Structure 1
């Protein structure tokens, strides 16, 4: 059974679940299909804290963007932005400065279609449909060049997306291509699933996600740290999402799902 809605592009196969729509479902969004919801229930069965993991990753994104805005960053490149939900990057950045510019990137058609509708009247934000493993396509895209000045610092965001890049790709080399396009003083905010903390649960998650269009590939703390090569990690370094500059530090250690995803922000040297 297919769902008819203005946000569903005709080309989308609603029977194949996607990570973007699964994430939307875990966050309580409405832009997902029956196949995504079925997969979401299996995801939560494998990882009971799955909804908390999604919520905490989204909260990390919000805090990271606010931090970068406090450091004077006024332009952002959000790779793997997903389906828009509460606390989008442009909302946070433009609350700090209405002139802030944001380029979103995703390859999932529903995410792109819904972003286009949301940004229709926002001259300082746009969406590009592209795959993060093709930095040249993204960095050279006319929309990226229209809104971003690469002679000035940029906030590069890869929140909860690089674990969809398989180990067949040279992950550090991909990030390096983005890094090399940025001037000193730019920032990288990145979060990534790991099996370091709960290997059995994460093995279950990996198995569940094999049935989707976007399998998950976990990485170790050392492998994720390597993605920050050329960036100096700001305090508190690479930590679980709940522990990265929490709004309420006294509760950070007790957050369910707060350690399945490592998160960090680095400043380009």
Structure 2
């Protein structure tokens, strides 16, 4: 039988949750008024802000498909998995690699509750309650150790997550600890809010950051390209490198112009030599 951990019984609906805010941006149903308040505030700055969440989700789907098909990877560690949508990591990966094992990590009680349901009919998908910004808490977890073989390549996802970290350690240091634990041939995918550092777009990024930081969620840092690139220490970036999420191997030609906010979220995939 698949493994999980007991979800916390108490859900605090007076504080916005990262996972539930993303769910609200994606028009989901697993969110509360406090989460929707964050969305409303962000949309006052950028009415098309939901497109960032959609670009991040579609980036995840394309990256998973690439890593499973082209990379032949059969193990996935998805950090900050969020609430289930139509196409989750395990669904995409296991459609290509039926034997693929996926371990999701999150510590949001609503996500954990959904995680238990997710596990009921899939014995190759597992869920861990842990702080994704404390690598040893994740890497030493008994479920992670039991279901992922760290002598074989692993795909590690930090998608739409580490821009919500604002602790004392640098994001690059956190990622280095994860990367050091991965075997050769592993892949790491990161997506992150971007300050484009241009006169046209940087003010938008900073206004969005200000709203996120002063909203009931309290997190959401827009870092520079150099800061984000530093989160791939020792990795070889897969072409085209660090680009707008929407431009990372899109499924077809662009037939409409980008919304300004789409220039404020980037992603990349790196391979460990």
Q: TM-score, normalised by structure 1?
A: 0.92
**1:120 CA displacement:** 1.9
The answer as to 2:134 corresponding to 1:134 is yes
CA distance in structure 2 between the aligned counterparts of 1:44 and 1:181, rounded to whole angstroms: 39
Give 5+ residue unaligned stretches, structure 2.
1-6
Residue in 1 that maps onto 2:204: 201
Worse overlay, 159-168 or 235-244: 159-168
Query: How many residues of Structure 1 are paired with residues of Structure 2 in the alignment?
Result: 261
Residue in 1 that maps onto 2:86: 86
Classify 1:187/1:214 alpha carbon distance in 2 versus 1 (closer, same or farther; 3 Å). Answer: farther
The answer as to 2:232 corresponding to 1:228 is yes
Question: Residues 204-229 of structure 1: CA distance to partner in whole angstroms, max 9, x if unpaired?
Answer: 22222222344112210001011111
Q: Is the contact between residue 239 and residue 259 of structure 1 (CA under 8 Å) also seen in structure 2?
A: no
**Runs of at least 4 residues off by over 6 Å:** none
**1:236 CA displacement:** 0.7
The answer as to 2:109 corresponding to 1:109 is yes
Residue in 2 that maps onto 1:4: none
Matches within 5 A, 1:1-269: 10-70=9-69, 71-166=71-166, 168-196=168-196, 198-210=201-213, 211-251=215-255, 254-256=257-259, 257-269=261-273
CA distance in structure 1 between the aligned counterparts of 2:152 and 2:51, rounded to whole angstroms: 36
Question: Residues 54-110 of structure 1: CA distance to partner in whole angstroms, max 9, x if unpaired?
Answer: 111100000000000011000100011111111100000110122100010112111
Counterpart secondary structure, 1:209: helix
**1:166 CA displacement:** 1.3
Give 5+ residue unaligned stretches, structure 1.
1-7
Question: Residues 160-180 of structure 1: CA distance to partner in whole angstroms, max 9, x if unpaired?
Answer: 101011163221111011101
Q: TM-score, normalised by structure 2?
A: 0.91
Counterpart secondary structure, 2:99: coil
Classify 1:167/1:135 alpha carbon distance in 2 versus 1 (closer, same or farther; 3 Å). Answer: closer
Q: Is the contact between residue 167 and residue 217 of structure 1 (CA under 8 Å) also seen in structure 2?
A: no
Q: Is the contact between residue 18 and residue 214 of structure 1 (CA under 8 Å) also seen in structure 2?
A: no
Counterpart secondary structure, 1:83: coil
Worse overlay, 167-176 or 18-27: 167-176
Q: Is the contact between residue 155 and residue 186 of structure 1 (CA under 8 Å) also seen in structure 2?
A: yes
Q: Is the contact between residue 195 and residue 225 of structure 2 (CA under 8 Å) also seen in structure 1?
A: no
